[in-house]
Amino acid sequence: MKKIYFDYAATSIKRKEILENFLENADLFDGNPDSTHTYGRDAKKILDQARRKLAGSIKADPSQIIFTSGASESNNTVINSFRGGEIISTNIEHDSIMNALDGEKVTYLRADEEGRISLDDLKKSLTDRTKLVIVMFVNNELSTIEPVKEIGEFLKDKPIHFHVDGVQAYGHLDIDVEEILCDSLSLSGHKVGGINGFGILYTRNKLKSLIKGGEQEKHRRAGTSFTLGAYSMAEAFDKILGEREKIKDLKKYFLAELAKVSINYEINGSVAKSSDHIVNVYFKDFKSDFLLTYLDMNGICASAGSACRAGALEPSRVLTNIYDEERALHSVRFSFGYTNTIEDIDKLMEVLGRVKA
């Protein structure tokens, strides 16, 4: 039975052509990029090329890019630099932010039923002691696009650090750090088809180093550089840009075909104010754990929310905060990527059409 993957928001199917290119040129990756011999210089060249390409993908300067193990580390690095100060965030952030903020003095902005926060609420929450504002660009469960550009414009002349979690926006929306006016931005390579365990932190300002050790990343993040991770993320970004229209069409087709299935449902969040790669569906008559098991038995992979919480078998915190726990327990997230086809969605609708209470 063919397996169909609709969980790209959790992680992308790996792009095998990138791995094949690596294997054909593996000797160029062997050295430590900080070594001065030939092996080191070969790896350093690849690392520098990737840094320039990744910086260009968000309209940043290469000197502003710190290579990390992923967005979770990047988010924690920012929060670690502002501990003890007043912080403003939202009630729909990723666990790498919510858990890192535990114990801090935080005001959480509440998202509306579309999953969107209000700039006015942010303005009302600011005090003279606010040091950090954290907002995700695209919500990882609803795909709602948050007003980060408006927030950046409002904060640009204030002594407040503005951090954006850009993980779910990367590759799907244009990201220009000069347009957003953020002070820092976190990204992960595996969401676009790169290797797991690699990400970047863009920052305008000097932050406290979270990982102590050597002098890598200009003393900003210790640890031997992950050359393959950087290379794979840079190569994957080029590919996902060419897949945007396909993914957009897949989402349109999914919504049109779902409307034809005899099943009671509502779309969580707002289709009009969302990215093109995620749809979160409230199935009124079926609990998500039942549906996910049923889909999996038919070769279809989806999720009930963030993969970082899925193992806990708890209802989505995001959906519970926006709606209620009962709705969260009946919702499934479908997220699309480069391997998906119209035929995959046809199969999904066929399977959904057969489901019985």
For 171-197, b/e burial (b = at least 16 CB within 10 A) is bbeebebeebbbbbbbbbbbbbbbbbe
Nearest residue to 34 via CA among 22, 26, 42: 42
Point out which residues pair with 130 in neighbouring strands. Answer: 86
> 95: exposed, middle or buried (C-beta count within 10 Å: 0-12, 13-18, 19+)?
middle
What's the pLDDT score for residue 308?
56
Q: Across residues 152-159, what is the average pLDDT?
A: 97
The answer to whether residues 59 and 78 touch, using CB atoms and an 8 Å cutoff, is no
Residue 143 has pLDDT above 70, yes or no: yes
Radius of gyration of the chain (CA): 21
Residue 176 has pLDDT above 90, yes or no: yes
Helices (H), 159-275: 177-180, 216-219, 227-241, 244-258
Among positive and negative, which fits the CA dihedral 314, 318, 320, 326?
A: negative
The answer to whether residues 40 and 33 touch, using CB atoms and an 8 Å cutoff, is yes
Catalytic residue among 19, 255, 301, 308: 308
Q: Which fold has domain 4-13+243-354?
A: Aspartate Aminotransferase, domain 1 (3.90.1150)
What's the pLDDT score for residue 169?
98
What's the pLDDT score for residue 305?
75
Instruction: Identify each DSSP E strand in the chain by its residue range.
Output: 4-5, 65-68, 86-90, 105-109, 130-136, 161-165, 184-188, 199-203, 265-268, 278-283, 300-301, 331-335
Among positive and negative, which fits the CA dihedral 239, 258, 113, 327?
A: negative
182 is catalytic: no
- Over the chain, what is the mean pLDDT? 96
pLDDT in tens, 260-314: 999 999 999 999 999 999 999 999 999 999 999 999 999 999 999 765 554 556 8
Domains of the chain, residue spans = 4-13+243-354, 16-241
What's the pLDDT score for residue 357?
64
Instruction: Identify each DSSP E strand in 269-323 by its residue range.
Output: 278-283, 300-301
4-13+243-354 and 16-241 have identical folds: no
pLDDT in tens, 114-136: 999 999 999 999 999 999 999 99
- Measured in residues, the chain has a length of 357
Q: Across residues 2-27, what is the average pLDDT?
A: 97
pLDDT in tens, 89-108: 999 999 999 999 999 999 99
Percent of the chain with pLDDT over 70: 97
1 pLDDT band, cuts 50/70/90, is confident
Pick the CATH number of 16-241 from 3.40.640.10, 3.40.50.720, 1.20.140.10, 3.10.180.10: 3.40.640.10
Q: Across residues 197-226, what is the average pLDDT?
A: 95
CA distance 75 to 136: 11
Tokens of residue 328, six digits: 């969260």
